[in-house]
Structure 1
């Protein structure tokens, strides 16, 4: 009876998508940023550009910057088998990290107007220290956006919207014991046999950054050893401090046999994904 080890790298952020978009109701209104990716505590600088072919009298020109984490899920309370319907409760949570508004222009007197041409209105804001990374992962989303608006009497409000990315630093050296190995065991019995398969799975450390390789060793029945190198792809860092969303990663090792019943057993090795790798041991 032979067995086979299958290695999977799995994380809640595996399908995370970083979203950027630009949407405007007026081609003459644009949002410009000095970058489309920022770090916590970083100052962002931008410019609102408004073009007009004739003189106009805007009531105000405003910019709004928002960042929030939204989670939504359903909890099944009861299922009626007769009609196969479920009584479900919908839960929705939001946590705001960034909420900044500023009026970039407003007339000092009724006769004030903007002449025909291009008009630029600068602004700046700081990314909060506790801002989680941008993501869109099923039941959990973290988005950061900018909205510019020009409100002119007797006309439809002009609006432009854009998203930007926040990607925090996560220094693995700030954690303790991430440079220590982690070991787990898989034990699986055989059908009509007193013998069982015992596999010991180990990794040399539990902190990794994208671009590194996870060396995985699987030792079966203290006899054969299987070594696998698993590259770490570009992933968002582990997220633990957000009230509504947790981002966790595991290395999952699965043992498959040719047994007739319950052919598969697996174990999970939790790891931390950061942006700054661990320093090599001296």
Structure 2
């Protein structure tokens, strides 16, 4: 029978490493083959290929209308990213049936992904999936189907000015208990940049002032927020992916975090360009105050896929230390070292007055301070000549004669 002759029918994707799952990004070419193994001669119809990728969201909400009446409302939406169809085996033009001999038969295929895609995702109320389906038509039998899923990861490069910018914030809260003021709790926190990749460590710099009569406990966590959008309604799901707990702060004391480390676990990247599904991250610093609500400070994060370059890491740490954006064109290293300036141009009275004057508004006050500017400036001027006891330019005899006081 025909059913017995079809031993194997699968979709295989070409990957550099056979053991690793197939992963692609937008604009890349997807190549593979449909493998068909027959135990005997078989008469077959058309073999069609369909590649599809979409984002789907769906959830239900129960609402009560009165004491005994309730109804359920459903929300759902879909966005298609990919739809490619291809015929790998077509029946002859005269309407006859294609006959294949026993053995292994491969039908290669290739297609290019669109330039706009979203990263694969699996959530509680939605998903973003990509797959390839092969459909084999057979006379006097039901069609045979094979399916192969693949993963899409959209690259997010954190080596961009927006994601290398430091993030900082401050908040305070008046602790109350039974209509009595217990004091003020304030927190200020800062991280060196906005973009990170899984496996990196986020150094947290924070100051917590506890001016209350109670002991408070500082905490920090990375929060993932999944947002599902359908018919103008949003559904969110928040979860903690990593957290740390600091030491207790007694009443009237201050705690300082000098780069408290919080490691990012292996989580999916941020999804910001999909219309129905968003995946966002944030660093949340929390102060647990007994007897009242907690104090929260939130700093945005973006989890990327392209890690920080070594040069970007150095510049980002410097910018976070001085909290300024250094103009690299203005502080560029010249090709030929300049001669050192004259003493008169450095120590003139006008120069001293300008040095003591407040800095110009269009230049950051601390842009030319610190060891980094000294490191750049040491390449701008040639070093002074070596010290010697012998004068290399002795005075001439005419210049050495004593002048007459009466002249």
User: Do Structure 1 and Structure 2 share a fold, with TM-score over 0.5?
Assistant: yes
Instruction: Give the C-alpha shift of residue 281 in structure 1.
Output: 4.1
Larger Rg: 2
Instruction: Give the C-alpha shift of residue 168 in structure 1.
Output: 1.1
Say which of 45, 67, 91 aligns to 1:82.
67
Distance change in 2, residues 1:236/1:217 (3 Å): same
Give runs of aligned pairs for residues 232-251 of structure 1, distance below 5 A.
Answer: 232-251=264-283
Distance change in 2, residues 1:177/1:49 (3 Å): closer
Say which of 104, 112, 120 aligns to 2:88.
104
Say which of 28, 31, 52 aligns to 1:45.
31
Partner Cα separation in structure 2 for residue 86 and residue 281 of structure 1: 60
- Partner of 2:159, secondary structure, is helix
Partner Cα separation in structure 2 for residue 82 and residue 208 of structure 1: 50
Instruction: Give the C-alpha shift of residue 128 in structure 1.
Output: 1.9
Instruction: Give the C-alpha shift of residue 27 in structure 1.
Output: 5.0
1:5 corresponds to: none
Partner Cα separation in structure 2 for residue 129 and residue 201 of structure 1: 38
Which of the two has greater helix per residue? Answer: 2
2:213 corresponds to: none
1:22 corresponds to: none
RMSD: 2.1
Pair 1:197-2:230 in alignment: no
Instruction: Give the C-alpha shift of residue 97 in structure 1.
Output: 0.7
Partner Cα separation in structure 1 for residue 306 and residue 168 of structure 2: 20
TM score, norm. by length of structure 2: 0.58
Instruction: Give the C-alpha shift of residue 193 in structure 1.
Output: 3.2
Instruction: Give the C-alpha shift of residue 93 in structure 1.
Output: 0.8
Give runs of aligned pairs for residues 1-282 of structure 1, distance below 5 A.
Answer: 27-35=7-15, 36-74=22-60, 78-83=63-68, 85-108=69-92, 109=94, 110=96, 112-176=98-162, 178-191=164-177, 192-221=180-209, 223-227=254-258, 228-259=260-291, 261-262=292-293, 264-278=294-308, 279-282=312-315
Which stretches in structure 2 are left out of the alignment for 5+ residues?
Answer: 1-5, 16-21, 211-253, 316-407
- Say whether the 8 Å CA contact 2:170–2:186 is kept in structure 1: no
Query: Which structure is richer in relative contact order (CA contacts within 8 A, separation 6 or more)?
Result: 1
Distance change in 2, residues 1:207/1:188 (3 Å): farther
- Partner of 2:44, secondary structure, is coil
Instruction: Give the C-alpha shift of residue 81 in structure 1.
Output: 4.2
- Partner of 1:102, secondary structure, is strand
Instruction: Give the C-alpha shift of residue 270 in structure 1.
Output: 1.2
- Say whether the 8 Å CA contact 2:171–2:297 is kept in structure 1: yes
Which stretches in structure 1 are left out of the alignment for 5+ residues?
Answer: 1-25
Instruction: Give the C-alpha shift of residue 139 in structure 1.
Output: 1.3
Instruction: Give the C-alpha shift of residue 194 in structure 1.
Output: 4.8
Instruction: Give the C-alpha shift of residue 175 in structure 1.
Output: 4.8
- Partner of 1:275, secondary structure, is coil
Which of the two has greater strand per residue? Answer: 1
